[in-house]
A and B are shown apart, each in its own frame.
Chain A
C-alpha cells in the first residue's frame, strides 16, 4: 500500500532556527500513530506542514502522493492545538459550516455524537466550558470521512472522563483505509490506542516503531521507554 503521509529530507527553519531537520518518514493507511516528543521538538511544525499551513524550507512532504494544497485538504481532517472556531457561532452553524466546506462531512454522525453528550445544537461556543468546546471540535473533525486525521494535542488539559470520550471517539471512527496521527506528550494516556509511535526531538526523528515491538524488545511501556530516551 502506498503511504498516506511521506516526508523526504524535510526541513523547516524559522529565521536561523531549524524546527525540523532532515525528517524522513512514511505512514501507511490504517494506522493510529503517536507523534511523541517533548515541548518544542517539532511536532506542531510537522503537523502544520502536512496541512499546508507552513511550507518546507527544504525537502518535501506528500499526502497520498500529493503536495499539500486544495486536493490534500479535502482528505486531511485537522484538529489544531488551540480553538479556532469563533465564540459567536452555534453548534448548528458550525455543522452548516463544515457541511459547506467539506464534501466528506457526515452530518448525521456528528449529530449522533453530540446527542450522546447531550450537547444542545443551539448552544454557542462562547457559552461552553473548555472541555465541551474540545469535544465539539473533535466531533466535527472526526465526523469527516477523511484519509488522514491530524490531531494536535487532543487530550491536553481535559479531565479523565473527557479524555476517555476522546479516545473512544477515535477508536469508534477508526476506518482501515484512514490513518490518525495524534501528537502529544501524555503518552501513558494514549498508548493503548496506538499502533506505532514516532519519537521526535530537536526536529529530528529519533525512532519509528510499533508499540508491540517496543514492549516486546524493551520489556517496558512506551511511556517508560520515552522517559528513558528523553531523560533530562
Chain B
C-alpha cells in the first residue's frame, strides 16, 4: 500500500478504500492474516487509532473478521468479495460515464467507442 494520502479526505476513509481495492483484486487473498494494528500503522506511517477505525469499518462491511486470539483475517466469503469488487467497478464506470457525458457523448456513442477500443486490442 502507498503512504501518500490525499489531503481532502479523512485518512481512515482512504485506508478503507485501499484495503477494499486490495481485497477485491485478490492482492490480499481470502483468509490471509492481517498484520497487527501497530505494524500496519508503522508501515503506513499513520496513527494506530486511524488504522483501528479503518479495520472496524471493513469488519462492518464483512470484508475482514477477527478471531479472538489469533488476529484479523481477510474474509473467506467469496460472495462478499465479489460484491465489493462489483461496487468498486460500478463506481469506476459511473465516474467514466460522468466524464464522457461531460465531453458531450451520448450513451450509444460511448458503447461504440468501447467496442472500437476492444477490437483494436484484439
Contacts and interface: CB of A to CB of B under 8 A. Distances in A.
A92 B105 CA distance: 72
Secondary structure type dominating chain A contacts: helix
Which one of A195, A215, A223 has the greatest number of beta carbons of chain B within 10 Å?
A: A215
Contact of A215 (B10, B47, B49, B53): B10
Nearest to B40: A171
Interface residues of A, number: 22
Which one of B12, B44, B47 has the greatest number of beta carbons of chain A within 10 Å?
A: B47
Contacts of B46: 171, 192-193
The 8 closest A-B pairs by CB, nearest first: A221-B7, A212-B10, A215-B10, A192-B46, A171-B42, A219-B8, A193-B47, A171-B41
Interface string B1-43: 0000101111110000000000000000000000000100110
Contact of B8 (A164, A171, A220): A220
B42 A168 contact: yes
A102 to B, nearest CB: 23
A94 interface: no
Secondary structure type dominating chain B contacts: helix
Contacts of A30: 49
Which one of A167, A212, A220 has the greatest number of beta carbons of chain B within 10 Å?
A: A212
A87 to B, nearest CB: 32
A64 to B, nearest CB: 20
Nearest to B3: A192
Contact of B38 (A174, A211, A216, A220): A174
A21 B11 CA distance: 33
Contact of B41 (A174, A194, A220): A174
A30 B80 CA distance: 33
A192 B45 contact: yes
A194 B47 contact: yes
Interface in A164-201: 164, 167-168, 171-172, 174, 192-195
B62 interface: no
